[in-house]
A and B are shown apart, each in its own frame.
Chain A
Amino acid sequence: MPSPDWQPAWEPDRRSLPAACARVLSGTTSRYFLGGFAPSLFVRRVELFDFQKVRQESDGTYRLQTMFYERLRSIDELVRAAGMLSSTTWSFSSGVALFVDLCLDIFPSIYDARNGDVPMPDTSESAIGCHSVLVTAISSDRVGFRHAWQGWRGYGAADSIVQSGTFPLEYVEQYFREAWAMRLTPGPDPDSVVAVDAGHLDSSATPDRPEEVNDERWCPLGRSSELDMIACWMEGVGSGQPWLQCLAIARSPAGNSTIVGWLHGRIGGSAVDIEDLFVWPPYRGRKIGAALAGSALYWASNRGYRQARWLELEADAIERSYSARGLPSWLRRMDWHESDQGGVRSATDRTDLVACLLEFEEIEVPGGLRKVRAHVGNEVLTGLMPCDVPGAPMVVLGIHPLDYCQGDHRLCRTERTEVRRPQKR
Chain B
Amino acid sequence: MDVSTEALVLETPNPLDLSVDDLSELANEIQAVLDESNYSELPIKVWSEPILGAANNFLDILYVFLPNADFFRDLVWAPVAAKIVNFMRKRFSRPHEAARTRIAYIYGPDGGILSSVKLRDEFADPIWSASGPDRSPPVTTDTK
* A residues in contact (CB < 8 Å) with B: 26, 28-29, 31-32, 34-40, 43, 103, 106, 108-112, 124-132, 149-153, 177, 318
Q: Tell me how far the C-beta of A422 lies from the nearest C-beta in chain B, rounded to whole angstroms.
A: 45
Bound state CA distance, A142 and B128, in angstroms? 40
Contact across chains for A128 and B94 when beta carbons are under 8 A apart: no
Given A29-B136, A111-B97, A111-B100, A131:B59 Cβ within 8 A: no
Bound state CA distance, A124 and B136, in angstroms? 35
Chief secondary structure at chain A's binding surface:
loop
B97 — which chain A residues lie within 8 A by C-beta? 108, 111-112
Q: Tell me how far the C-beta of B57 lies from the nearest C-beta in chain A, rounded to whole angstroms.
A: 7
Given A26-B52, A128-B56, A177-B54, A112:B94 Cβ within 8 A: no
Contact across chains for A38 and B54 when beta carbons are under 8 A apart: yes
Chief secondary structure at chain B's binding surface:
loop
Contact across chains for B17 and A151 when beta carbons are under 8 A apart: no
Does B96 count as interface, using CB distance less than 8 angstroms?
Answer: yes
Contact across chains for B100 and A39 when beta carbons are under 8 A apart: no
Bound state CA distance, A31 and B57, in angstroms? 12
B100 — which chain A residues lie within 8 A by C-beta? 111-112, 151
| Count class of interface residues, chain B | 20 to 34
Q: Tell me how far the C-beta of B69 lies from the nearest C-beta in chain A, rounded to whole angstroms.
A: 22
Q: Tell me how far the C-beta of A25 lies from the nearest C-beta in chain B, rounded to whole angstroms.
A: 11
A31 — which chain B residues lie within 8 A by C-beta? 55
Given A128-B14, A128-B16, A129-B17, A112:B56 Cβ within 8 A: no
Can you give 20 contacting A-B residue pairs, CB < 8 Å? A28-B52, A29-B135, A38-B54, A38-B55, A43-B53, A108-B97, A111-B100, A112-B96, A124-B95, A128-B14, A128-B16, A128-B17, A129-B16, A132-B55, A149-B57, A149-B58, A151-B58, A151-B99, A151-B101, A153-B99
Bound state CA distance, A82 and B58, in angstroms? 25
Given A128-B14, A128-B17, A129-B51, A150:B95 Cβ within 8 A: no
Bound state CA distance, A312 and B57, in angstroms? 28
**Can you name the residue of chain B whose Cβ is closest to the Cβ of A106?**
B56
B55 — which chain A residues lie within 8 A by C-beta? 31-32, 35-38, 132
A28 — which chain B residues lie within 8 A by C-beta? 52
A108 — which chain B residues lie within 8 A by C-beta? 94-97
Contact across chains for B96 and A39 when beta carbons are under 8 A apart: no
B101 — which chain A residues lie within 8 A by C-beta? 151
Does B75 count as interface, using CB distance less than 8 angstroms?
Answer: no
B82 — which chain A residues lie within 8 A by C-beta? none
Q: Tell me how far the C-beta of B141 lies from the nearest C-beta in chain A, rounded to whole angstroms.
A: 19
Bound state CA distance, A124 and B135, in angstroms? 34
Interface string of B82-104 (1 = CB under 8 A from A): 00000000000011111111000
List residues 50-68 of chain B with CB under 8 A from any CB of chain A: 51-59
Does B79 count as interface, using CB distance less than 8 angstroms?
Answer: no
